[in-house]
Homo-oligomer: A and B are copies of this chain.
Amino acid sequence: MNAQKRLKGRARDFFAKLQDEICAALESLDGAARFREDLWVRDGGGGGRTRVMEDGALFEKAGVNFSEVDGRFDEAFAEKMPVGEGSKFFATGISLVLHPSNPFVPTVHANFRYLERGSGSWFGGGTDLTPYYPNLDDAIHFHRTLKTACDEFDPAFYPRFKQWCDEYFFIKHRNEARGVGGVFFDYLTGEHADEPLEAGDNRTSVDRGIEFIFEFVQGVARAFLPAYAPIAERRRGEPFTERERAFQLIRRGRYVEFNLVYDRGTHFGLQTGGRTESILMSLPPLVRWVYDYHPEAGSREADALEFFRPRDWLNEELNEDE
C-alpha cells in the first residue's frame, strides 16, 4: 500500500469518527432532539452518511454530513484545480451547518476535507461564525479558540487563514461579510513553497509534508466544538421578540445567497453528482426576503450590519482592555 493510499484511509477514518463525536456533543448540547441518519450511495462511486436534526430545543435545523466519494471530475472543472493532474478524484470529509432557532445564537459552519486528484493530495476546510446580533465576546472567543489551535502548528497560520476566511465568505453582490469569519484554507499539500512559514523558520516547506497538514487539520477540527458550544450555551436562554426573529429570517437569506451563488463546496457537490439533500442541508429551515430591506438608523439591527465587517477581532479585544 503506498503512502497516498494509507493517508486516504486515515483521513476517512478521522472524518467518520469526528462526525460521531460532533453529533454526540450536539445532541447533548441540544438536549431534546436526536439526529436521524441517512446512508446514501453515489452513482459515480462512494457515498456518505448524512445526519440531520430538526426542531430541537436549541437547533431549528442541524446537519452534519460525512462523505467519501470518488470518480472523475468534469474536465473543465478539474482544469481549474492547482494541484494534481487528470480528472480522477477522491474526496472525503465532514461538513456541518447549525441553524439555531434563537436569533441570539449564531449560525455556524464547519467543513474539513481531504482530496486527491491524480497523484496530488491536499486538505481544505475551515469554520466560520454567523451571528445575527453583535456580541464582541462571542467573536473573540471563537477566534481565540481557533488561533490557539492554529498556533500549535505555525503562528503564521491563524492570520493567513483568518484573512482567507474573510475573503472567501464575502458576499460580493451585497458587499457584506457573511458574519464574523473564522479560518478557511484550501489546497494545503504541505509541499508548496508558498505555504505559510513562521518568519525565520528554517524548515523547508517540503520538510513539513502532508502529514504535518493532516495533524493541523485534526487540531483545527477538534477546536470546532470548544469554539462554538460555549457561545451557544451562553446565548440560548436570551428571550427574543418577533422583531428579532424577523431579522434572523432576513439575514438567513444572505446565507442562502452565499451558499447557492458562491460556495465552492456546494458547487463541487452539485457538479460531481453528490446527494442533493445532503449538500443542501446547509440551507436554513425558514427564510424571508424583503425587497430593499434597511433597518432603522440607530437600531440594534442597523448596528449588526455595521458590526459584521472583516475585523481584527483579537485586536478589538486589546482595544477594549485598554
Contact = CB atoms under 8 A, between A and B. Distances in A.
Given A256-B260, A276-B173, A54 B285 contact: no
Interface string A31-61: 0000000100000000000001010000001
Given A173-B270, A257-B260, A285 B289 contact: yes
Given A173-B276, A291-B277, A292-B38, A253 B286 contact: no
Contact of A284 (B260, B279, B289, B292): B289
Interface residues of A, number: 30
A292 B61 CA distance: 12
Contacts of A220: none
A260 B258 CA distance: 9
Given A173-B270, A291-B54, A291-B63, A257 B285 contact: no
Contacts of A292: 38, 52, 277
Contacts of A54: 290-291
A174 interface: yes
A262 B284 CA distance: 20
Nearest to A276: B173
B287 A281 contact: no
A261 interface: yes
A174 B276 contact: yes
A291 B61 contact: yes
A287 B255 CA distance: 13
A129 interface: no
A258 to B, nearest CB: 10
Nearest to A38: B292
A58 B279 CA distance: 34
B290 A285 contact: yes
A288 interface: yes
A197 interface: no
A280 interface: yes
Nearest to A61: B291
Interface string A289-314: 11110000000000000000000000
A59 to B, nearest CB: 12
A261 B270 contact: yes
A288 B285 contact: yes
Interface string A141-178: 00000000000000000000000000000001110000
Nearest to A256: B256
Interface of A: 38, 52, 54, 61, 63, 172-174, 249, 253, 256-257, 260-261, 270, 276-277, 279-281, 283-292
12 contacts: A52-B291, A61-B291, A173-B276, A256-B260, A257-B260, A260-B261, A280-B289, A281-B291, A285-B289, A285-B290, A287-B288, A287-B289
